[in-house]
Amino acid sequence: MSQASSMDNVAIRVEDLGKRYRLGQQQPYNTLRESLAGSRLNPRNWTKPKPPDGEQTFWALRHLSFEIEPGEVVGIVGRNGAGKSTLLKILSQITEPTEGRALLKGRVGSLLEVGTGFHPELSGRENIYLNGAILGMGKDEIRRKFDDIVSFAEVEKFIDTAVKHYSSGMYLRLAFSLAAHLEPEILLVDEVLAVGDAAFQQRCLGKMNEVAQTGRTVLFVSHNMGAVRRLCHTGVLLDNGQLVEKGPIEHIISRYTEGSRRLDAEVTFDDKPDCDMPILGCRLLNADGQPRSELDRMHPFQLEVSFAVHRPLRGAHLALMLDRADGTPVLHALDVDSQPESIVDRPTGRYRTTFQYPGGIFNAGLYKLRIVSGRYPSTKYDSCEPFVFELFDQGSFAAVGAQGKQRQGIVCMALDVETERLP
């Protein structure tokens, strides 16, 4: 059977795919612009022979095989380090597999690291034409869609201003709008909803839903299970670089959520010499300063994060995301929030940052943490999803609703209330 005929009813075919990294060595891959500019195959077929085995290696993906039909909207689900982003980078031809192959039929649009390839000295208008061409759009197509791209991004007044002067929200809106208007047969999306404000996230979801409604194939990676549930019909669950299961999205989310119930209070990670700001460990401490994975929601608690800085950095920060177990976002905090200038010099060394949580605000339930080290506007050095913990309630008045049941919602706190008797 020819390759073309074998792809008649398949949009994406992954066959025994594997990606191995050599730890402690510079990885020889091109930039996104170089990779996309050099891509000419359709359907795409990339293979690479296995390198000789060595001791200092890490398999991000191994023996991965599955098929996705045209028009399928698939959520790629798994813990940090499961191989989700590596898979999308291989499918986008940003990096090559170590073994196996991936076949894609049709034009591919990638929203992996929003804004990658934007030149800070060029205006928004110039970046649209430059990056549109890199993403495969012809000049006439860009000109025809230009007004829609600018209108969706809401940057009309600043379209001829250098993007280095844009706020993070403007920068992200323009980058997303450009990629979303590519109208590819296959759209790959990785954690776009991890950035931007709530209104921007809703616009992202709406645009991706619009793409899905037209019958195009979408692969969506996100830790926000609410967004995955809303957008996707099918799920692929990955763990340690291997396929656990492909099936209906509700079933996949259920398996993922149950597997995330690893109640711990302390975790450590190996140092990464080739990472500028690796996360080394996390501890969850109760009001008495003791490591605990089950905490009284009425009492304050704190999270300690240890990390290293391997070269002097300016503007680097830690971001902490707190979600409910089902992926509902609860809190997004930065370690620079208490410094209005949001610019921090980080000399080389080891650090420990402590986030303080007040008591009596969050409702009882399971919560999970995500921690990212990075730099404005879009650089990510390291990330981890250290553990799931539980907030319990010992029968405080604020946790009980009118019918004696636990109150609904993420926030559960006593408000100052005044009542007066009217004449």
Domain with 360 in it: what CATH number?
2.70.50.60
Structural domain contains residue 179: no
Whether 253 and 270 share a structural domain: no
Provide the CATH number for the domain around residue 79. 3.40.50.300
Whether 247 and 288 share a structural domain: no
Calculate the alpha carbon distances from 295 to 27, 359, 367 in Å: 42, 10, 11
Q: Assign 111 to helix, strand or coil.
A: strand
Picking from 191, 199, 147, the residue whose alpha carbon sits closest to that of residue 173 is 199
Structural domain contains residue 158: no
CA distance 328 to 223: 9
**Number of compact structural domains in the chain:** 2
Calculate the alpha carbon distances from 282 to 66, 263, 335, 359, 382 in Å: 35, 13, 14, 20, 14
Whether 250 and 299 share a structural domain: no
Across-strand partners of 302? 285, 356
Structural domain contains residue 31: yes
Whether 23 and 98 share a structural domain: yes
Whether 343 and 194 share a structural domain: no
Whether 240 and 292 share a structural domain: no
Q: Of 206, 227, 259, which closes a domain?
A: 259
Whether 195 and 81 share a structural domain: yes
pLDDT at 115: 57
Picking from 271, 234, 266, the residue whose alpha carbon sits closest to that of residue 250 is 234
Whether 352 and 283 share a structural domain: yes
Whether 389 and 276 share a structural domain: yes
Range of the domain at 74: 3-107+184-259
Structural domain contains residue 174: no
Structural domain contains residue 132: no
List, run by run, the mean pLDDT of 10-residue segments along the chain (423 residues): 55 92 58 47 48 66 92 88 88 89 85 69 92 82 91 90 84 80 81 60 74 83 78 90 91 76 78 91 92 88 95 90 84 82 78 92 87 84 87 63 63 86 92
pLDDT at 25: 52
Q: Of 219, 236, 259, which closes a domain?
A: 259
Structural domain contains residue 121: no
Q: Of 231, 259, 287, which closes a domain?
A: 259
Structural domain contains residue 205: yes
pLDDT at 52: 52
Q: Which residue do the tokens 């006593």 mark?
A: 414
Whether 388 and 282 share a structural domain: yes
Whether 312 and 205 share a structural domain: no
Whether 232 and 98 share a structural domain: yes
pLDDT at 114: 57
